[in-house]
Amino acid sequence: QHRSPVTVIGLGPMGVALAESLLNHGHAVTIWNRTAQKGDDLITKGAHRAATVAEAVSRSPVTIVCLKDYATMHAILNSVVDAMTGRALVNLNSGTPTEAHAAARWTAEHDVDYLDGAIMVPPPLIGEADSVFLYSGSQDVFDRHRATLASLGDPRHLGSDPGLAVLHNAALLDLMYATMNGFLHATALVGSAGVPAVDFGELAVKWFMPTVVNESLIEQASELDQGDYPGDFGTMEMNANALEHITRTSVEQGVHSDQPRLMQQIAERAIAEGYSGRNYLAVFEIFKKPTH
Ligand code: NDP
């Protein structure tokens, strides 16, 4: 099977992993990085080092950029964008939907095919068949380069709005950090009485977390879509009370209390907005609006 040549710009830990995976899958790989020596290992594995960015983008029908952010991508590519006309640019660095939209407009002005993407796994998992990569932008561009993208992981196209990939990335990381902080704060709370993290981890992760984070969230998601929050089994009032107890326990035990206090304040705002008799999911109505 013919493998498309690919150019990789940006050789941080992630860019190196991307280039290596492409080489392993039989692609001819051209690399460029501000600090050239970060590509030395890739050269011994068969990559070609371009002397300039213009040469780099000219050597392949597809250029993948994996830099620190969008500003860095523009600093590197703005002056060579015309050399990419008729070729594809796949941007895998993280950022915001507004930055993704601006990048899509900029490439369209120069007739460059554009896909925005986000990588949902760390460098060691690049190249695994089930490592999820999120993409957004033209379905046609995605379809044409799907085989190449599959050399990096499992490519998923979310829709034609180019901002969707980084938006999903932010949302999933939001979920990750909230979950991690929940576990870390809870561990600090029992730690205040000398309970070792490994003992609490057993109870929290093996028993309690699966009762909360499971398929029932998907059933609850339909209640979110409907905006229906029956309070038959527990009200916002009850939940705000529980959050107040967590905050006060944190203060009493001498551990950090900002995180439970913030959750308590959000529940209190839901009460102030009329959801006191609804269930906890009604906090979703508060999250859909800007902070005031
Ligand atoms: P970094 O985010 O640290 O990006 C490093 C790259 O950006 C290097 O190529 C570096 O060049 C380049 N760079 C930074 N500033 C400049 C500049 N002013 N001019 C030119 N080049 C510059 O490393 P990663 O590889 O870890 O991440 C790249 C992207 O991948 C990020 O957007 C990140 O969010 C995303 N990602 C990373 C994951 C990870 O676990 N590492 C996981 C999922 C996504 P130089 O080598 O010369 O410094």
How do residues 142-173 score in pLDDT, each as one tens digit? 999 999 999 999 999 999 999 999 999 999 99
Go through the domains of the chain in sequence order and give each one's CATH number.
6-159 (3.40.50.720), 167-287 (1.10.1040.10)
How close is the Cα of 66 to the center of ligand 1, in Å?
6
Using only C-alpha atoms, what is the Rg of the chain? 24
How close is the Cα of 20 to the center of ligand 1, in Å?
16
pLDDT in tens, 258-289: 999 999 999 999 999 999 999 999 999 999 99
Structure tokens, 61: 């029908």
119 C-beta closer than 6 A to ligand 1: yes
d(Cα 102, Cα 238) in Å, to the nearest integer? 45
Q: Which atom of ligand 1 is nearest to the CA of 75?
A: 19
Q: With a threshold of 0.85, tell me whether the complex ipTM lies above it.
A: yes
pLDDT score recorded for residue 85? 97
Q: If you take atom 23 of ligand 1, which residue's CA is the nearest one?
A: 12
Cα–chain-centroid distance for residue 107? 23
**How much of the chain is in helix, strand and coil states, percent to nearest 5?**
60, 10, 30
pLDDT score recorded for residue 72? 98
pLDDT score recorded for residue 1? 63
72 C-beta closer than 6 A to ligand 1: yes
How close is the Cα of 10 to the center of ligand 1, in Å?
6
Q: Which amino acid does the sequence have at 271?
A: I
124 C-beta closer than 6 A to ligand 1: no
Residues of the chain with pLDDT under 50: none
Q: Kindly give the residue spans of alpha helices, DSSP state H, lying in the chain.
A: 13-24, 40-44, 53-58, 70-77, 97-109, 139-149, 164-191, 197-201, 209-212, 216-226, 236-253, 258-270, 283-287
Structure tokens, 64: 């993948």
